[in-house]
Amino acid sequence: MGEILKIRSFSAIIDSMSEKKKRLLTGLQPSGALHIGNYFGTIKPIVDLFTDHEGLLMVADYHALTSVRNPEELRKSIVENAKDYFAAGLNLDNAILFQQSSVPEHAELAWIFDCLVTVSFLELGHAYKDKVAKGLEANAGLFTYPMLMAADILLYDTDIVPVGEDQRQHVEYAREAAAKFNNAYGTTFKEPQELISKTVGVVPGTDGQKMSKSYKNTIPLFATRDEIQKAVMSIVTDSSGDKPEHVYAIHTLYKTDAELTPLYEEKKGKYKDLKEALIEDIDTYIAPMREKRASISDEDVRLVLKEGGEKARTLASAKMAEVRKKVGVTL
Ligand code: ADP
Ligand code: TRP
């Protein structure tokens, strides 16, 4: 695999763009237990952004319905994913955390956008084509997915949408939906801008490929010390070099090069010692987050989501009232 890049937070980028006063909105589909690749690649940059920027963070449960058919699994993932954000330090003073399904205006506005865009326009969507190529059912929800995402973004007059590179086209689609609506009915929606963290790299798995739950090469984020030990000890090492490349790449997520260089110099060729140092560093980093996570009840999460849903709905319903009037359904 290519060189492992250092993970840099979105906030460093947004600050350099002087975008402090802008409203952010981002969303993640609820999915199973996180690994350290999800955390350093996505969760941490988002949580860092909300330490000093305001906006909305959405659990995209209706988007998840394009691929999840198990209600128990979905319910569990929504709650567990919200816990992940809290354990990772999400600042609720700045962020409204809510479930997409708590605000039915998202689905309502998506319908209006569906009526403004053409099938051939949606057919250009990379994500749809990629997912169908990977064997996902080509359901109509998957096809119109970008218009639901456009509604998520545009309902809140969002300025900035922090997302991974794979979502860039979806934000372009949102801009297009805004422009189409504004053209047809007069200026109503802001055209949002994507914020792609260029330096977010790929965290390698224990086999050196991209860490991914599909490859079974993960270090689980909220692992116990024993689980961390088991995963780290299984990291593939190449006996031809002094420095175990994959161990080092993962280690750089927890310590700086300046901290690691003397250690890797001193323990040259001693892979077991270096892995033990990595286990210690991962465990030290995760222990407080693990504790925090364990202290959050499902009930706490449901309450925060409920409150967040109410706040989000107040914003969305005001915008939707304007939309209904403009399209001509309010009498
Ligand atoms: P997985 O590959 O384990 O199925 P997902 O596709 O569910 O992970 O990814 C969820 C989020 O985590 C995405 O935004 C993705 O960019 C990020 N992510 C996943 N794996 C990694 C990795 N190895 N390094 C960096 N970011 C990752
Ligand atoms: N489509 C995004 C993903 O799969 C999740 C998402 C849904 C989203 N709605 C959004 C992201 C609105 C940003 C803004 O990762």
- The predicted structure's pLDDT at residue 20: 56
9, 116, 174, 323 from 186: Cα distances, Å: 37, 14, 17, 10
- The predicted structure's pLDDT at residue 108: 98
User: Is 42 a pocket residue for ligand 2 (Cβ < 6 Å)?
Assistant: no
User: Is 57 a pocket residue for ligand 2 (Cβ < 6 Å)?
Assistant: no
Q: Is 213 among the residues known to form the active site?
A: yes
- Residue 263 C-alpha to ligand 2 middle, in angstroms? 40
CA-CA distance, 272 to 279, in Å (whole number)?
Answer: 10
Among 168, 105, 177, 187, smallest CA distance to 144 is for 177
Specify which residues 98 forms β-bridges with: 58
- Residue 41 C-alpha to ligand 1 middle, in angstroms? 7
**Most distant CA atoms of the chain, gap in Å:** 77
- Residue 275 C-alpha to ligand 2 middle, in angstroms? 36
The span from the first CA to the last CA of the chain, in angstroms, equals 60
Distance of CA 288 to the CA centre of its chain: 22
User: Is 217 a pocket residue for ligand 2 (Cβ < 6 Å)?
Assistant: no
- The predicted structure's pLDDT at residue 196: 81
Q: Which ligand is nearest to the CA of 7?
A: 1
- The predicted structure's pLDDT at residue 52: 83
pLDDT tens readout for residues 148-157: 999 999 999 9
CA-CA distance, 46 to 24, in Å (whole number)?
Answer: 10
The structure tokens 């962020």 sit at 95
CA-CA distance, 72 to 55, in Å (whole number)?
Answer: 29
The structure tokens 């849903």 sit at 309
Q: Which ligand is nearest to the CA of 103?
A: 2
User: Is 202 a pocket residue for ligand 1 (Cβ < 6 Å)?
Assistant: yes
Which pTM does this prediction carry?
Answer: 0.88
Q: What are the chain's domains?
A: 3-201+299-327 (3.40.50.620), 213-290 (1.10.240.10)
The mean pLDDT values, 10 residues at a time, for the chain of 331 residues are 45 52 92 89 89 93 96 97 94 95 98 98 93 91 97 97 89 98 98 78 88 91 95 87 88 94 93 96 96 96 97 98 98 97
- The predicted structure's pLDDT at residue 11: 55
Task: Give the contacts of 226 (CB within 8 A, at least 6 positions apart).
Answer: none
pLDDT tens readout for residues 113-142: 999 999 999 999 998 999 899 898 999 999
Specify which residues 99 forms β-bridges with: 59
